[in-house]
Amino acid sequence: MSGRTRRPPGRQAEPGPEDAWLVEVAEGASRDAGGVPVQLLGDYLPLLADAAVHGRQVKKRELDAVGLLGRQAAEQGISAGRVVQLYLSAARRLWQDLPMVVRSRDREAVRDAASAVLQVVDKAVATLAEGYADARRDLVRREETLRRELIDDLLRGDSDLGALVERAEPFGLDLARVHQVALAAPSRRLPDADAAISALEAVVFDRLGDRDVLVATKDGLLVVIAPAEAAEADPMEASNELGRLMHGELSRRPRGRPWRVAVGRPHPGLYGIARSYEEAREALTMAGRLNTDDPVVNAHDLLIYRVLLRDQPAIVDLVQAVLTPLARARGGAAPLVDTLDAYFATGTVATEAAKRLHVSVRTVTYRLDRIKTLTGYDPADPAHRFTLQAAVLGAKMLNWPQEPLPG
């Protein structure tokens, strides 16, 4: 719009887009909205002026152009409130000048002009907001896709380091720092993932800040990648705090309970994230197989099981040699393995084991005798206890007898 001389008041002619008075209106509206670019008004002011002078209704293609301007505003990062303020302020300023242009009209004509202008304002602002909202949804979907792809590559640990550093930077993730990964598993299928992610983001960001934290979903689990420098003095306590923080927030959600949270150990660098993730995933699996009562498990606490699993053929051989004779018992091996597990977990106290199993003490002692008879190992004999307990731990990790032993 170039600055032409202003029309004398009262002259009734259609105000063109290059009129100086429209330029003044646009610039004033821009100032009112905190400096929003006047280009985002497009042909909005000429449309208003044409509606006021001639009563012309806005056309669909003109509204479509306004919707595109709304998208542009969203893509430029301008808030929706400021864009709407630009349009409303422009309408107000234009109307203040219009009576000078149409003052020769009668009251009814002025009322018709006001009605026509308000209709254009109503349709234009609604279309502007709709275009803005569509663009924001597209941006959120695009960002979510980028976030999910980034997390997948981080957890795999086999991507190009240089490219990952560049992709992680917009999310505030410094791959040179020490991080740890925590996983949260719902009791059933992940309910309302977006709401759960938002809730976790709010509480984790409040505790750790919004940089170097990523929250997403993967394989039906909630994944949190968090910084761990604060864990250097006491890594166990810091890991437990992150796990308790997550579990406490998720437990307040109406669905998904009971949740189980597993936290991997802190490790430095890109490959440390993948390593911590694998530890958290193994801890989650082991906790399920071991039927642990604690809803928050730490990979550090389960290191002994990882050590045992590193030599899986030896563990399979131990379980096969020591426990498979229990399968000959009436009812199968499962009740006897569970009895051994409870017996060792309660310090070899039969009465406590009976409480945990919800059976009588007599049933526990009978089963212990059957175990001794079938396997040749006496659970009450300290010389046999370690072998039996190691075999039971191995059976839990291998999910035996619910699943066949690996070949």
pLDDT of the residue at 191: 67
pLDDT at position 396 is: 86
Is residue 157 assigned to a domain?
no
pLDDT at 187: 81
Residues 204 and 285 in one domain: yes
pTM > 0.85: no
Per DSSP, the three-state class of 218 is strand
Residue with tokens 């938002």: 198
Give yes or no: residues 30 and 117 share one domain: yes
Residue 299 shares a structural domain with residue 339: no
pLDDT for residue 96: 82
The overall longest dimension of the chain from CA atoms, in Å, is 113
Q: Please classify residue 331 by burial: count the beta carbons closer than 10 Å to its beta carbon, then call 0-12 exposed, 13-18 middle and 19+ buried.
A: exposed
118 assigned to some structural domain: yes
Domain contains 348:
yes
Q: 183: domain CATH number? A: 3.30.70.270
**Which of 286, 306, 326 finishes a domain?**
306
| Domain of residue 321, CATH code | 1.10.10.2840
Spans of the chain below 70 pLDDT = 1-19, 98-106, 159, 191, 210, 229-239
**Looking at the structure, do residues 299 and 193 belong to the same domain, yes or no?**
yes
From 253, 281, 306, give the residue that closes a domain: 306
388 and 270 in a common domain: no
Residues 299 and 359 in one domain: no
pLDDT of residue 388: 94
Within a domain: 163: no
Pairing of β 296-298 and β 260-263: parallel
Same domain, 133 and 229: no
DSSP 213: -
State whether 296 and 315 are in the same domain. no
Cross-strand bridge partners of residue 278: none
Whether 5 maps to a domain, the answer reads no
Give the C-alpha separation, 389 to 76, whole Å.
64
- Domain endpoint, select from 277, 306, 335: 306
Q: Of 401, 199, 225, 379, nearest to 319 (Cα)?
A: 401
CA distance 380 to 16: 100
Domain count, the chain: 3
Residues 173 and 302 in one domain: yes
For 192, list phi and psi in degrees, rounded to 5: 45, 65
Task: Kindly state whether residue 31 falls inside one of the protein's structural domains.
Answer: yes
According to DSSP, residue 379 is labeled T
Q: Is 371 within a domain? A: yes
Same domain, 389 and 271: no
| DSSP classification of residue 257 | P
Confirm whether 149 is domain-assigned: no
| Statement to judge: residues 57 and 108 lie in one domain | yes
* Tens-place pLDDT, residues 184-219: 998 877 767 778 888 888 888 888 776 778 888 888
Identify whether residues 285 and 319 lie together within a single domain: no
List of residues 6+ apart from 171 with CB closer than 8 A: 147, 150, 214
Q: Which domain holds residue 121?
A: 20-139
How far does Cα 345 stand from its chain's mean position?
Answer: 37
